[in-house]
Amino acid sequence: MKPARTFLDLVVRQKALEQRRAGILPADRSETRAGRPRSFFALRPKKSAFCNLPSAIFLCLLFISTLTSSLLAAEPTAEEKAQRAKQAEEIFARAREARKMKVVVFGSSVAWGQGAENNHGWAARLAQVIEPRGWTLVNKSVPGDNTVKLLARFHTAVLPEKPQVVILALSLANEGLVRQPDPEAIFFRYRENMRKLVQLCRQNGIVPIVTGVYVHGAYTPQQYQYAKNMNCELDSWSVATVDFMGAVDDGAGHWGEGLFKDPGHPNDAGHEALFRAFPPSILDCLIAEAPRPLRLARSALTIPPHAREQKEGGGLSYQPRDPLRSYTLAVEALLDTNAPGTIMVAGGNVIELAPGGKLSVKTGAGKPLAADKPLPKNKAAHLSLVHSAPQKKSTLLVDGKEVLFWQDDSEPPQFFALAGPGVPACGEYRHAALYRVALRPDQVSQIASGLVLKSGLEIFSALDDAGVAVGTILNNQAPTEAAWVVHGKF
């Protein structure tokens, strides 16, 4: 739970180490000679004509003067701060240039940008965001391609680029789900060929990312079910996945209102929605560390009754750098039904525990809502707030079951919180998660039963009380730079 060392610290330390090795800086005193630590006394110069009493007194006075000057140094001016910030940015720029990281997008027409103005689709938008991070994106997608064609041209299209990451972005429609009479055969062929593409990436030292299959304007209920099943299959693999369906689904397997150019392709707004489902920091995180299994824990973060009396309130907060058009905020909590307060906040939507243990909602439009039944006493409940931008709808679910819903076309929230801000609902909070997409009811039921879905996951933290203090950055098990921050005292 300790804040990670900053990237700038690592750059400065590496530079100092290189200069010591080159003889520009003196060796660190912690270095050893002949297998023994070098002590302070071992560093004393040999006696000479300069090592007399007056020289020693002069050196002591010089040391005291330097120390006093540093202690009494004035606060850096705005100009000095700006200069330091500029120097730091130059260091970052040189570090990014030195990395020369590359990602290849390998898919079909939607990945190529079809449907967007000037083909500036989700991949082109992603390229603009990751370029300042030191990444170059090369798009090797071809309209009409499927898993068979990608396997055939992997060695000629991908390997010459020598990428660190490959994004595999295909659909079941191109595989033949819409027009072929045997959907089960299409399902198995897509699954097995996608597995081969992932293996090809790893055999060549490339990190794979797989985008989930998305919707189609002509899907039947049966075809929609196959697409959902495929995404469940992909989510179970030990590979990073991105949930595209949850960003554009109207709830029936078709494009949301105003998000499509034709049955098979999104328009500008649809491409923007797909882009927003992709956490840009996932590239850096996957290069730094391989995907880890997401683990549940029995621990909990306790919000005691005295937290209600503090001005700061209690709980956690998160301000996304990249806006979330759709989202799912979820937490498991054992709440004190006699201590009402705020459970969770997403932009203008505030979920509260009312007197008597009933849930209430203050919507972004200012409309209050209240659930019919109270939460069970002395029993943990899984609470989920789901917002679907394509459906312009927000839903509150308890243990996977819908208890409230309301029409919601508000702007993407700039702030998320749990157990606050303000007067928090007291109790034990555990397993706090935030997704970049709207999970379907069946998916919410899965996470309520203890299954952690990783597609579209922005933050997943198993909460506990250890080392919690104001400003603490909690550990995030999802492969992104996002994190919950403690914003109150307990």
The 10s digit of each residue's pLDDT in 95-139 is: 555 557 999 999 999 999 999 999 999 999 999 999 999 999 999
Mean pLDDT of 195-199: 98
How far apart, in whole angstroms, are the C-alpha atoms of residue 24 and residue 2? 34
Q: Which residues of 301-338 are buried (b: 16+ CB within 10 A; e: fewer)?
A: bbbeeebbeeeebbbbbbebebebbbbbbbbbbbbbbe
Domain final residue pick, 257, 288, 319: 288
40 or 32: which leads in pLDDT = 32
489: pLDDT strictly greater than 80? no
Whether residue 384 lies inside any domain: the answer is yes
| Domain co-membership, 189 together with 141 | yes
354: pLDDT strictly greater than 60? yes
295: pLDDT strictly greater than 80? no
Which are the contacts of 113, defined by CB distance < 8 A and separation ≥ 6?
A: 119, 120, 121, 122, 123, 124, 139, 271
321: pLDDT strictly greater than 90? no
- When divided into structural domains, the chain yields a total of 2
Domain final residue pick, 267, 288, 309: 288
Task: Verify cis geometry, omega within 30 degrees of 0, for the bond prior to 421.
Answer: yes
What pLDDT does residue 294 have? 67
| Domain co-membership, 369 together with 326 | yes
pTM: predicted TM-score of the whole model, two decimal places: 0.77
The 10s digit of each residue's pLDDT in 127-182 is: 999 999 999 999 999 999 999 999 999 999 999 999 999 999 999 999 999 999 99
Give the model's confidence band at 366: pLDDT under 50 very low, under 70 low, under 90 confident, else very high: confident
358 or 87: which leads in pLDDT = 358
Whether residue 107 lies inside any domain: the answer is yes
| DSSP, res 295 | -
What pLDDT does residue 282 have? 93
How far apart, in whole angstroms, are the C-alpha atoms of residue 380 and residue 383? 10
Q: Give the range of the structural domain holding residue 243, as residue numbers without chain letter.
A: 96-288
- What's the mean pLDDT when you consider all of the chain? 83
302: pLDDT strictly greater than 50? yes
Give the model's confidence band at 488: pLDDT under 50 very low, under 70 low, under 90 confident, else very high: low
3-state SS assignment for residue 39: coil
Cα separations (Å) of 1 from 9, 178, 298, 468, 482?
19, 48, 17, 8, 14
| Domain co-membership, 224 together with 347 | no
Mean pLDDT of 73-87: 67
Q: Is residue 170 within 8 Å of 108, Cβ to Cβ?
A: yes
Domain final residue pick, 238, 253, 288: 288
Give the model's confidence band at 453: pLDDT under 50 very low, under 70 low, under 90 confident, else very high: very high
Q: Which two tokens stand for residue 153?
A: 């041209």
How far apart, in whole angstroms, are the C-alpha atoms of residue 264 and residue 255? 9
How far apart, in whole angstroms, are the C-alpha atoms of residue 103 and residue 100? 10
| Domain co-membership, 340 together with 316 | yes
Whether residue 59 lies inside any domain: the answer is no
Residue 109: which CATH number? Answer: 3.40.50.1110
Residue 490 CB neighbour total at 10 angstroms: 19
Mean pLDDT of 402-408: 94
What pLDDT does residue 303 have? 85
Q: Is residue 378 within 8 Å of 291, Cβ to Cβ?
A: no
Q: Which two tokens stand for residue 133?
A: 């991070």
